[in-house]
């Protein structure tokens, strides 16, 4: 997989008139500007309020919601927490994406696992040099801090030196609230 897939998905999503961005490992690589590891999937994030707009935009796709760790058909109901993960499959060409719903309140993004953690909406995502939207790395890493896998550690170690002081401070504050014993904290000074 390469940035070509991100570029292709960005072109495909060009007609979707709501905010969306790449998440997960692709977001880390888009922030850095180069592919640093192999990616086995494409994760897109959007705001929960826009979920039905996405389903309408991808009307030819099949959708599954993840509820209590199990895939279930997503009809047309509005999904509320704790459901935050949707898998979509394009029956025509076999493309698959994972969609992660993000919480908002007023003009803030809210961390669904700990609502004390927030960020102004306009600071949640950025664009690569080629115009590809991605979730900012400090937020991606906060999600990756729970049940940290080897690829999550790899992403952290790859991106930590690219984070400016503001991003490091925000992540340190969020981890101290949510995962106060996390090993990444030692690198965020």
The predicted pLDDT at position 189 comes to 86
pLDDT in tens, 132-152: 999 999 999 999 999 999 999
Here the CATH number for the domain that contains residue 97 is 3.30.460.40
Assess if residue 53 is contained within a domain: yes
Count of C-beta atoms within a 10 Å radius of residue 85: 17
Assess if residue 178 is contained within a domain: no
Assess if residue 129 is contained within a domain: yes
Residue 186, pLDDT above cutoff 70? yes
pLDDT in tens, 66-86: 999 999 999 989 999 999 999
Is residue 107 within 8 A of residue 121, CB to CB? The reply is yes
Q: Enumerate helices (H) and strands (E) in the chain, giving the number of each.
A: 6, 10
Mean pLDDT taken over the chain: 95
Considering its fold, how many domains does the chain have in total? 1
The predicted pLDDT at position 2 comes to 60
Assess if residue 35 is contained within a domain: yes
Q: What three-state secondary structure class fits 159?
A: helix
Which pTM value belongs to this model? 0.94
């Amino acid at each position: 997989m390469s940035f070509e897939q991100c570029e292709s998905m960005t072109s495909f999503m060009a007609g979707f008139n709501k905010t969306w961005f790449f998440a997960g490992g692709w977001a880390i690589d888009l922030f850095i500007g180069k592919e640093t590891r192999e990616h086995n999937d494409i994760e897109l994030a959007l705001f929960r309020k826009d979920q039905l707009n996405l389903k309408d935009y991808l009307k030819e796709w099949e959708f599954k919601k993840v509820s209590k760790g199990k895939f279930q058909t997503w009809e047309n109901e509005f999904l509320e927490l704790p459901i935050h993960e949707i898998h979509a499959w394009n029956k025509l060409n076999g493309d698959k994406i994972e969609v992660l719903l993000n919480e908002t309140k007023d003009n803030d993004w809210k961390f669904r696992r700990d609502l004390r953690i927030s960020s102004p909406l306009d600071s949640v995502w950025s664009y690569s040099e080629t115009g590809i939207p991605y979730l900012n790395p400090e937020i991606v890493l906060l999600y990756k801090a729970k049940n940290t896998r080897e690829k999550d550690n790899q992403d952290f170690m790859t991106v930590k030196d690219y984070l400016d002081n503001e991003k490091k401070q925000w992540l340190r504050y969020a981890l101290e609230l949510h995962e106060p014993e996390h090993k990444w904290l030692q690198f965020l000074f």
